[in-house]
Structure 1
Amino acid sequence: MKSKTYAYVITAFGAAIIAVLAQITIPLPLVPITGQTLAVGLIVTILGTRYGTLSVLLYILLGAIGLPVYSGFSGGLGILVGPTGGYIIGFLVQAYIMGIYMDFFGKTYPQAIISNLIGMVVTLTFGTAWLKFLGDLTWTAAFMGGVAPFIIVGIIKAILAAWLGILVRNRLSNARLLDSLA
């Protein structure tokens, strides 16, 4: 059995992966396409509910205190209350719901794809609602700016996160590196 230190290191490693993939950015007018959602799905698929969600929470907290972990090497509370804040907060809910889904239905490729697609919807819902109220937009305008540009890319990222996540999870499990995280 591995120590709590091992679990903390794995959690920090998950947050670091999210921070690195967050720097992959395709700029759009309201909200950019980033690697964050891919990273969140990947980390939760690999680490599961508890440590995946803790990794996302750590990532959010690191950015909130000003470390440049959000997309574009940004950080600070201003990002969390800005146009992308709803998506970032949505990552935490995404992680938890994804993990619970896979705990219930299993950690297989098909279930991981479904879980990641559900996670995508959760994050887009949080982000769009945030945009609507923060920007005083209509629901249609918020949907067009906060969901429509991300649907196809989101599906691709969900499938990729599921595939890579299960692949890595299975290899780490075979190497007995996830035993204490179950």
Structure 2
Amino acid sequence: MKKGSTYQYVLAAFGAAIIAVLAQVTIPLPLIPITGQTLAVGIIVTILGTRLGTLSVLLYILLGAAGLPVFSGMSGGLGILVGPTGGYIVGFLATAIIMGLYLDKFGITFTQAIIANIIGMIVTLAFGTVWLKIVADYTWTAAFMGGVAPFIVVGIVKAVLAAWIGVIVRRRLERAHLIEAIA
């Protein structure tokens, strides 16, 4: 069942809200905390696809940039985006696009969703690491050790979890004719 644009914007806003809520799930680490944001981005893109998933992420970033406390630790504002963790947040946009395009091409199965979410994790970590190197003036080794190494295992677990939740929710929403099935 094809829904109107207002319905689609509501879905995108709901996606942004889910990212904002899961961003508050935080495990503090010395430099970059482990948060639920990456899990949420993976779930939302798996459920909503390229266009609406990317719109959800963009809305989330814009809300945070405007100062609403949607980023981890109930923070917001441009200062977060230009700070050490900003690259990860900005990277969510590229992550959503790349994940969505992958799922569009290969379909939304559990296996393909895991692969898409792992690719998304790599994209997010790459953006974050480059940003961290530049903003914190780290060496590449220090940026990798602080911005990637601690997140590899957790990232894989979150990728599998996002794929599992995303595929299940997407299938249920398709059966209920609340979102369109992707062929």
What is the TM-score of this pair, normalised by structure 2? Answer: 0.97
1:3 aligns with 2:4: yes
Structure 2 letter corresponding to 1:30:
L
User: For residues 180 and 5 of structure 1, what CA distance do their matches in structure 2 show?
Assistant: 19
SS in 2 for 1:107: coil
Partner of 1:108: 109
Deviation at 1:181, TM superposition (A): 9.1
Structure 1 letter corresponding to 2:16:
A
What is the CA deviation profile of residues 138-173 of structure 1, one whole-angstrom value per residue up to 9, with x for unaligned ones?
100000000000000000000000000000000000
Partner of 1:175: 176
SS in 2 for 1:8: helix
Whether the 8 Å contact between 2:22 and 2:35 is mirrored in structure 1 is yes
Whether the 8 Å contact between 2:19 and 2:41 is mirrored in structure 1 is yes
Whether the 8 Å contact between 1:47 and 1:181 is mirrored in structure 2 is no
Whether the 8 Å contact between 1:66 and 1:77 is mirrored in structure 2 is yes
Structure 2 letter corresponding to 1:149:
P
What is the CA deviation profile of residues 52-106 of structure 1, one whole-angstrom value per residue up to 9, with x for unaligned ones?
0000000000000000000000000000000100000000000000000000011
Whether the 8 Å contact between 1:31 and 1:84 is mirrored in structure 2 is yes
Deviation at 1:179, TM superposition (A): 2.4
Partner of 1:164: 165
Deviation at 1:28, TM superposition (A): 0.7
What value does the CA root-mean-square deviation take over the aligned residues? 1.2
Partner of 2:42: 41
Partner of 2:150: 149
Partner of 2:84: 83
What is the CA deviation profile of residues 108-152 of structure 1, one whole-angstrom value per residue up to 9, with x for unaligned ones?
000000000000000000000001111111100000000000000
With over 3 angstroms needed to count, the CA separation of the structure-2 counterparts of 1:180 and 1:64, relative to structure 1, is: farther
User: For residues 148 and 36 of structure 1, what CA distance do their matches in structure 2 show?
Assistant: 18
Structure 1 letter corresponding to 2:142:
A
Structure 1 letter corresponding to 2:65:
A
Aligned residues: 182
Deviation at 1:4, TM superposition (A): 1.1
Structure 1 stretches of 4+ with a deviation exceeding 2 A read 179-182
SS in 1 for 2:163: helix
Whether the 8 Å contact between 2:23 and 2:70 is mirrored in structure 1 is yes
Whether the 8 Å contact between 1:7 and 1:181 is mirrored in structure 2 is no
SS in 2 for 1:179: coil
Deviation at 1:180, TM superposition (A): 8.8
What is the TM-score of this pair, normalised by structure 1? Answer: 0.98
Whether the 8 Å contact between 2:174 and 2:181 is mirrored in structure 1 is no
Unaligned runs of 5+ in 2: none
Partner of 2:137: 136
Partner of 1:65: 66
User: Kindly, what percent of the aligned residue pairs are identical?
Assistant: 75
